[in-house]
């Protein structure tokens, strides 16, 4: 397996009311290309901070230490727009060329330089507050490499689709805009791509959905649209941050199945952030358990679920109340 | 960063606060520095400023001390401005809360009354009210409040409409709290911040309205007011322009001070709410 | 004796020029000390039923009898007095309290409103309530937004039991909690039920939790009752289409090892 990103000693500190709160403490983790990795933990575990740090969405006030090395180029950079097939249901057709392994590295001073790990090159200036962020290509400059850009290289799906979709913009335009911005397509090409994406996320009647506004859709449909927008530019990495937590059980299962299908079809890497270990186990190949900002345990799903090494992982598994768990009611009755 | 420190870091806010502090100091020290009637004759008529250091800003047509009038006028401006704005905010918040919380017929009636007040220009309303009832300080305060309570009422109602649907209001009903207690203890305090944000604009407008009423001779005749001073000076505008200019500058600085300080407070509290 | 009897309950909403029945001719009853769960996908009407039963909204049709009296006939002071016996715990304990409140004020309100304890006696009652739900009395002066989510939900339960109710509506009361906290809160609820004979109307989308704590379950679909019966019997072998879909969608944890 080749790595997509190597996270080394990532530490994130928020300042709140004058005191500093560490959201992540020296986390080291490899994200392998094409894998489905679940990050699970309870509130305050730092799992969402990790997702935001990887996507470069941390607020400017966060203090960041450590480094994230990206190996995007080795997996094929985006083809120039001219060779892009307009709508391709299977990503295999999208032209890609490997340029060898020349990792783009983001180095952030360990000494607590203020500044965000921001793959969003364009937004860097507004976020860095004089901090030192160094972009380094480890091989020769002639080889292509880049810091990932949100939207183009990383797709992000948030928990609340109502908050992540623009309420006064049509569904079609929101998706088309992503394709246009990152792939350099014309508006009509972008709309054609948006329609294809709505078909791929199985939104009923994609033609009228293109012209619909978010409030006309149900929660599950909105999340499908948010996923379509997230994958519109064909990202390498899809991050789903509690993307199914606000949905009911049936819709949640549908969205999980959709994410699994899209990730498989496009060969994307999936980072699935969840508080639900059972849900994560159904989708992910590997699970990383977080607690209090630290990585507690990392392993293959079967190992984490079947033979956890850490007591905390076991406690999380024991706390799960499934359809085959012995009812609390009976236990209470026995004790009474 | 504490709100006070953030406030002090904003230059406009600090300038506003200094102006406002100067105004308050003038109002408070008026009877200490200038005991006795400010409308008493103290020197020759129409003495220009900076001639006689016992009368630094000179005298008006009747030989009254302009500086003493200015200090006592600050009292009137401040008292009327604050009282009228407070009355408008209280009436507006109560009406808006009742309308938003009760809904239905109560809402309809209260909001149509609000509409009725809003369709009449507020200055006209104040003018008519004072001409009918007769000029006195209390009447001027009520007259100004009559035209300004509608803004706070609308803002309060809009805020209450959104707060009314929150779980904690349902929670208060579930424990059997009286609807009026819910409206005024649970909902109103949380609806206040955007209403209070309007206070600087309302105070500034009230001070200007009071000056305009006095200028037209509808202020309290027993008190010195800046509007009245400007009106007085108008007759001798060519020969003694300072009689109009001095209170005019005071008025401008006061309104500016109130506005800047108010904006500063709103901004610092907004940042704090945004962070939490 | 039946504690709560709901018959032919109907609530319609107008959306544009269409009328949608959020709750459509629903009847059920709850016995003292029993847990009845309402489950179903979002939009099935389970939360609407909870709010109708509490009279936070009024039904278009139907009848609600609570503790042997016509609950819908009550109004004003009589309704507010009766509310002491019928309480609620919300999903998000932060949203369920006035953002400016302290723990003490939240617990003081019901004691004061229903005249349960005199002003001088209330601090002691508040301390006792906090201890009853597994918290310590020194939490009383803290602001609601300062304490943890689990502590907040315990305070919400303390507030609900302050007036000695016979029925508590739990509207997704454990759904927003961390799994480790959720187990403790469920244990607390079961313990209170055993000791005080409190009945629960347990609204949840989580069949695993319902199966674990409820006596009976009603599965709802589009405002109607699709299936109802013993919680474990229904969930272990659902007969209705929605029951089968809900069970199939529940995530399963296969702990047999690699």
Lowest mean pLDDT among A15-19, A247-251, B247-251: A15-19
Is residue C6 over pLDDT 90?
yes
Give the CA-trace dihedral at A271, A274, A279, A285, to 10 degrees.
30
* pLDDT given for residue A116 in this prediction: 40
Please indicate whether, in this complex, the C-beta atoms of B175 and C113 are within 8 angstroms of each other: yes
Of these ranges, A123-127, B6-10, B34-38, C101-105, the one predicted with the greatest mean pLDDT is C101-105
B119-130 pLDDT, tens digit each = 988 899 999 999
Could you give the CA distance from residue C149 to residue B169 in angstroms, rounded to a whole number?
Answer: 19
CA distance A271 to A5: 12
> Pick from C41, C250, C188, C212: which is nearest to A276 by CA?
C250
Question: What is the crossing angle of helices B199-215 and B137-148, to 10°?
Answer: 130
- What are A41's two structure tokens? 């933990």
What tokens were used for C72? Answer: 């819908």
pLDDT at A139 over 70: no
Tell me how crowded residue A335 is: count the other CB atoms within 10 A of its CB. Answer: 9
Indicate whether A78 pLDDT > 70. Answer: no
pLDDT at residue A265 in the model: 94
pLDDT for B154 beyond 90: yes
- Decide if pLDDT at A98 tops 70: no
B contacts of C110 (beta carbons < 8 Å): 175-176
% chain A with pLDDT above 70: 76
- Residue range B178-193: mean pLDDT, rounded: 92
Instruction: Give the CATH number of the domain where residue B221 resides.
Output: 1.10.3720.10
Q: By residue range, what is the domain housing residue C61?
A: 4-100+165-249
Pairing of strands A154-157, A237-241: parallel
Whether chain B has a CB inside 8 Å of the CB on C144: the answer is no
Q: Which helix (H) or strand (E) holds C199?
A: strand C199-203
Asked if CATH classification 3.40.50.300 holds for the domain at A3-153+235-335, the reply, yes or no, is yes
Of the pLDDT bands very low, low, confident and very high (cuts 50, 70, 90), residue B60 is: confident
Please give the DSSP secondary-structure letter assigned to residue C203.
E
Nearest residue of A to residue C194 by CA position?
A: A336
pLDDT tens digit sequence for C40-56 = 998 899 999 999 999 99
- For residues A124 and B156, the model is more confident at B156
Q: What pLDDT, on the 0 to 100 scale, is given for residue A126? A: 33
Please determine, for residue B161, whether its predicted confidence score (pLDDT) is greater than 90: yes
Tell me which chains share at least 3 CB pairs under 8 Å with chain C: A, B
Q: What is the pLDDT of residue A79?
A: 36
With tokens 């791929």, the residue in question is: A200
**Over 60: is that where the pLDDT of A94 sits?**
no
Does C124 reside within a domain?
Answer: no
Give the pLDDT confidence score for residue A140 in this predicted structure.
34
Give the domain ranges of chain A. 3-153+235-335
Q: Mark out chain C residues that contact chain A at CB-CB < 8 A.
A: 35, 41-43, 149, 178-180, 182-183, 186-187, 190-191, 194, 205-209, 211-215, 232, 235-236, 245-258
- Give me the residues of B, 187-246, that contact C with CB < 8 A: 189-190
Which residues from chain A sit within 8 angstroms of residue C180, using beta carbons?
42, 315-316, 319
Chain C residues closer than 8 Å to B173 by CB: 56, 83
Neighbours of chain B (3+ CB pairs under 8 A): C
Mean pLDDT of C120-141: 95
Q: Which of A22-31, B217-226, C146-155 has the lowest mean pLDDT?
A: B217-226
Task: Indicate the pLDDT class of residue C255, thresholds 50, 70 and 90.
Answer: confident
In contact, A42 and C178? CB cutoff 8 Å: yes
Q: Which among A248, A275, A320 has CB closest to C42?
A: A248
Give the range among A169-183, B42-56, C86-100, C207-221 with minimum mean pLDDT. Answer: B42-56
pLDDT at A110 over 80: no
Model confidence at A58: pLDDT above 70: yes
User: Would you state the pLDDT for residue B2?
Assistant: 64
Minimal C-alpha gap between C34 and chain A (Å): 11
Q: pLDDT-derived band of residue A333, with 50, 70 and 90 as boundaries?
A: low
**DSSP state for residue B47 in the 8-state scheme:** P
Residue B137, CB-side half-sphere exposure with 13 Å CA sphere: 14
Question: pLDDT-based confidence at B37, cuts 50/70/90?
Answer: confident
Q: What is the 3-state secondary structure (H, E, C) of B25-44?
A: HHHHHHHHHCCCCCCCECCC
C-beta atoms of A320 and C179 within 8 A: yes
Contact A77, A97 (CB under 8 A): yes
DSSP C234: H
Is A124 a residue whose pLDDT tops 60?
no
Shortest Cα–Cα distance, A181 to chain C (Å):
35
Strands A294-300 and C35-39: unpaired
Which CATH number fits the domain that encloses residue C203? 3.40.50.300
Question: Could you read off the pLDDT of A293-304 as tens digits, one per residue?
Answer: 999 999 999 999
Over residues C128-139, the mean pLDDT reads 95
| 8 Å CB contact between C83 and B176 | yes
Arithmetic mean of pLDDT, A16-33: 88
Instruction: Find, in chain C, the residue whose alpha carbon is nearest to that of B179.
Output: C76
Task: Report the pLDDT averaged over residues A228-257.
Answer: 93
Pairing of β C167-171 and β C86-89: parallel
Mean pLDDT is lowest, of B2-16, B64-78, B164-178, C4-18, for: B2-16
Distance from CA of B158 to the nearest CA of C (A): 18
User: Is A275 within 8 Å of C178 when comparing Cβ atoms?
Assistant: yes
B224 has a pLDDT exceeding 80 = yes
What is residue C98's three-state secondary structure? coil
Dump pLDDT digits (tens) for A159-184: 988 888 999 999 999 999 999 999 98
At residue B224, φ and ψ (nearest 5 deg) are -80, 135
Q: How much is the pLDDT for C22?
A: 94
Q: Could you give the CA distance from residue A159 to residue A178 in angstroms, rounded to a whole number?
A: 19
What is the count of structural domains for chain B?
A: 1
Q: Which residue has the higher pLDDT, C90 or B13?
A: C90
What's the pLDDT score for residue B7?
75
Is residue C136 in a domain? Answer: no
Do C251 and A278 lie within an 8 Å CB cutoff?
yes
The closest alpha carbon to A128, from A156, A152, A109, belongs to A109
The 3-class SS string of chain A reads: CCEEEEEEEEEEEEEECCEEEEEEEEEEEEEECCCEEEEECCCCCCHHHHHHHHHCCCCCCCEEEEEEEECCHHHCEECCHHHCCCCCCCHHHCCEECCCCCCEEEEECCCCCECCCCCCHHHHHHHCCCCCEEEEECCCCCCCCCCCCECCCEEEECCCHHHHCCCCCCHHHHHHHHHHHHHCCCHHHHHHHHHHHHHHCCCCCHHHHHCCCHHHCCHHHHHHHHHHHHCCCCCCEEEEECCCCCCCHHHHHHHHHHHHHHHHHHCCEEEEEECCHHHHHHHCCEEEEEECCEEEEEEEHHHHHHCCCCHHHHHHHHHCCCCCCCCHHHHHHHHC
Strands A3-16 and A63-70: what pairing? Answer: antiparallel
C84 CB within 8 Å of a chain B CB: yes
Residue of B nearest to C98 (CA): B168
Residue B68 inside a domain? The answer is: yes
CB of A249 less than 8 A from some CB of C:
yes
Q: Comparing C-alpha atoms, which of B165, B241, B21 is closest to residue C95?
A: B165
Residue span of the structural domain in which B265 resides: 3-34+57-275
With contacts defined as CB-CB under 8 Å, which chain B residues touch C115? Answer: none
The mean per-residue pLDDT over the stretch B233-242 comes to: 86
Residue among A282, A319, A323 minimizing CB distance to C247: A323
Which A residues in the span 104-163 are in contact with C, Cβ-Cβ below 8 Å? Answer: none
- C219: in domain: yes
Residue B98 lies in a domain: yes
Q: How many domains does chain C have?
A: 1
**Two tokens at C92?**
């998000």
Using left for φ > 0, alpha for ψ between -120 and 50, and beta otherwise, residue B103 falls in left
Strand partners, C92: none
Q: Is residue B43 part of a domain?
A: no
How many whole angstroms separate alpha carbon A242 and alpha carbon C195? 37
Range in A67-81, B165-179, B195-209, C11-25 the model is least confident about: A67-81
Please check the confidence at residue A27 and state whether its pLDDT lies above 80: yes
First vs last C-alpha separation in chain C:
52
- Minimal CA separation from B170 to chain C, in Å: 7
d(CA C223, CA C43): 8
Bigger pLDDT: C257 vs A67: A67
Q: Which residue has the higher pLDDT, A287 or B27?
A: A287
């Amino acid at each position: 397996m080749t790595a997509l990103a190597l996270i080394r000693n990532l530490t994130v500190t928020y300042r709140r009311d004058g005191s500093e709160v560490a959201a992540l403490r020296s986390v080291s983790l490899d994200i392998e290309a094409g894998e489905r990795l679940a990050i699970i933990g309870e509130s305050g575990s730092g799992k969402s901070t990790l997702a935001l740090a990887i996507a470069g969405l941390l607020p400017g006030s966060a203090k960041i230490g450590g480094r994230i090395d990206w190996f995007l180029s080795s997996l094929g950079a985006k083809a120039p727009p001219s060779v892009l097939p307009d709508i391709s249901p299977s990503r295999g057709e999208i032209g890609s060329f490997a340029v060898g392994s020349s990792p783009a590295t983001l180095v952030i001073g360990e000494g607590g330089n203020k500044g965000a790990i921001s793959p969003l090159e364009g937004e860097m200036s507004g976020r860095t507050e004089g901090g030192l962020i160094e972009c380094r290509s480890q091989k020769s400059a002639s080889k292509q490499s880049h810091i990932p850009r949100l939207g183009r290289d990383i797709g992000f799906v948030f928990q609340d689709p109502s908050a992540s979709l623009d309420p006064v913009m049509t569904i079609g335009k929101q998706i088309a805009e992503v394709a246009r911005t990152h792939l350099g397509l014309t508006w009509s090409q972008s709309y054609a791509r948006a329609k294809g994406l709505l078909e791929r996320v199985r939104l009923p009647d994609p033609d009228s959905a293109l012209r619909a506004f978010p409030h006309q859709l149900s929660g599950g449909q909105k999340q499908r649209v948010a996923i379509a927008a997230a994958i519109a530019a064909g990202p390498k990495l899809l991050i789903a941050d509690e993307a199914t937590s606000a949905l009911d059980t049936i819709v949640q299962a549908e969205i999980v199945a959709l994410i699994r299908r899209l990730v498989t079809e496009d060969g994307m890497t999936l980072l699935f952030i969840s508080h639900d270990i059972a849900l994560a186990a159904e989708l992910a190949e590997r699970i990383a358990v977080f607690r209090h900002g630290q990585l507690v345990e990392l392993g293959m799903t079967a190992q984490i679920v079947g033979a956890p090494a850490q007591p905390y992982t076991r406690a999380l598994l024991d706390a799960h109340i499934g359809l085959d768990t012995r009812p609390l009611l009976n236990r209470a009755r026995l004790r009474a | 960063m504490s709100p006070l420190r953030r406030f002090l870091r904003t230059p406009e806010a600090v300038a506003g606060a200094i102006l406002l502090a100067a105004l308050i100091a003038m109002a408070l020290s008026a009877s200490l520095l200038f005991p006795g009637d400010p409308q008493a004759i103290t020197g020759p008529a129409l003495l220009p400023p900076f001639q006689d250091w016992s009368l630094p800003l000179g005298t008006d047509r009747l030989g009254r001390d302009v500086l003493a009038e200015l200090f006592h006028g600050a009292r009137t401006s401040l008292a009327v401005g604050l009282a009228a704005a407070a009355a408008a905010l209280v009436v507006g918040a109560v009406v808006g809360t009742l309308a938003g919380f009760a809904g239905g017929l109560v809402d309809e009636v209260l909001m149509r009354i609000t509409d009725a007040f809003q369709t009449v220009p507020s200055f006209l309303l104040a003018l008519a009210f004072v001409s009918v009832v007769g000029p006195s300080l209390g009447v001027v305060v009520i007259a100004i409040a009559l035209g300004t309570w509608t803004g706070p009422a609308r803002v309060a109602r809009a805020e209450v409409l959104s707060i009314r649907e929150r779980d904690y209001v349902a929670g208060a009903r579930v424990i059997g709290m009286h609807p009026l207690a819910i409206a005024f203890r649970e909902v109103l305090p949380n609806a206040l911040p955007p209403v209070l944000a309007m206070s600087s604009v309302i105070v500034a407008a009230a001070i200007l309205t009071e000056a305009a009423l006095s200028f037209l001779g509808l202020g309290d005749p027993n008190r010195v007011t800046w509007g009245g001073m400007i009106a007085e000076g108008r007759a001798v505008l060519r020969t003694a322009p300072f009689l109009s200019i001095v209170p005019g500058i005071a008025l401008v600085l006061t309104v500016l001070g109130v506005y800047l300080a108010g904006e500063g407070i709103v901004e610092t509290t907004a940042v704090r709410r945004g962070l939490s | 004796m039946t504690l709560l009897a709901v018959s032919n309950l109907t609530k319609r909403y107008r959306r544009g020029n269409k009328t949608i029945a959020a709750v459509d001719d629903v009847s059920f009853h709850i016995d003292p000390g029993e847990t009845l769960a309402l489950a179903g996908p979002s939009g099935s009407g389970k939360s609407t039923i909870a709010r109708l039963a509490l009279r936070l909204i009024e039904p278009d049709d139907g009848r609600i009898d609570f503790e042997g009296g016509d609950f819908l006939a009550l109004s004003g002071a009589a309704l507010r007095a009766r509310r002491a016996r019928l309480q609620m715990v919300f999903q998000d304990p932060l949203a369920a309290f006035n953002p400016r409140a302290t723990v003490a004020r939240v617990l003081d309100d019901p004691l004061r409103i229903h005249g349960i304890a005199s002003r001088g006696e209330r601090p002691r009652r508040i301390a006792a309530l906090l201890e009853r739900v597994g918290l310590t009395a020194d939490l009383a002066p803290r602001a609601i937004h300062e304490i943890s989510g689990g502590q907040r939900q315990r305070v919400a339960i303390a507030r609900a039991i302050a007036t000695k109710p016979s029925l508590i509506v739990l509207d997704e009361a454990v759904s927003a909690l961390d799994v480790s906290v959720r187990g403790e809160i469920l244990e607390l609820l079961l313990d209170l039920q055993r000791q005080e004979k409190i009945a629960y109307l347990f609204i949840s989308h989580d069949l695993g939790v319902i199966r674990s704590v409820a006596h009976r379950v009603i599965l709802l679909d589009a405002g109607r009752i699709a299936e109802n019966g013993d919680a474990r019997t229904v969930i272990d072998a659902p007969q209705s289409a929605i029951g089968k879909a809900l069970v199939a969608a529940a995530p399963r944890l296969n702990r047999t090892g690699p």
